[in-house]
């Protein structure tokens, strides 16, 4: 029961953080689609979710491959989350 509330709090913190860093992503020129008003974006996004779900279900028989794919996807996600802040976190100053 307690874990459910922890997950709920983490979800809200992630949502609030996403709203707070949106200007950084816009300043970096990052957006999901070229034309956000296009209706076909929703169809494409939904199709990608279905395709990825099918791949995960097929690969669920191979635990080691599935684990590797999940680690790679987590790394890629972390990269894209921190990409707009690369200049802020950089150890080497920009010239």
Give CA angle at 9 (15, 88), nearest 5°.
Answer: 45
Q: Do the beta carbons of residue 12 and residue 20 sit within 8 Å?
A: no
Residue 32: the pLDDT is 73
pTM > 0.85: yes or no: no
What is the residue-averaged pLDDT of the chain? 82
The size of the chain, in residues, is 95
Domain boundaries, the chain: 2-89
**Per-residue pLDDT tens over the stretch 27-72:** 777 777 778 788 888 898 899 999 999 988 988 888 888 888 888 8
Residue the block writes with tokens 């599935």: 66
66 contact partners, CB below 8 Å, separation of at least 6? 56, 59, 60
Cα–Cα distance, 18 to 2 (Å, whole number)? 25
Is the pLDDT at 1 greater than 70, yes or no?
Answer: no
């Amino acid at each position: 029961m307690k874990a459910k509330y922890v997950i709920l709090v983490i979800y809200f913190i992630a949502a609030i953080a996403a709203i707070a860093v949106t200007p950084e992503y816009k300043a970096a020129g990052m957006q999901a689609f070229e034309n956000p008003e296009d209706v076909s974006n929703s169809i494409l996004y939904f199709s990608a979710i279905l395709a990825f779900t099918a791949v995960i279900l097929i690969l669920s028989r191979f635990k080691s491959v599935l684990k590797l794919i999940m680690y790679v996807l987590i790394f890629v996600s972390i990269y894209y989350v921190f990409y707009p802040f690369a200049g802020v976190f950089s150890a080497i100053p920009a010239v």
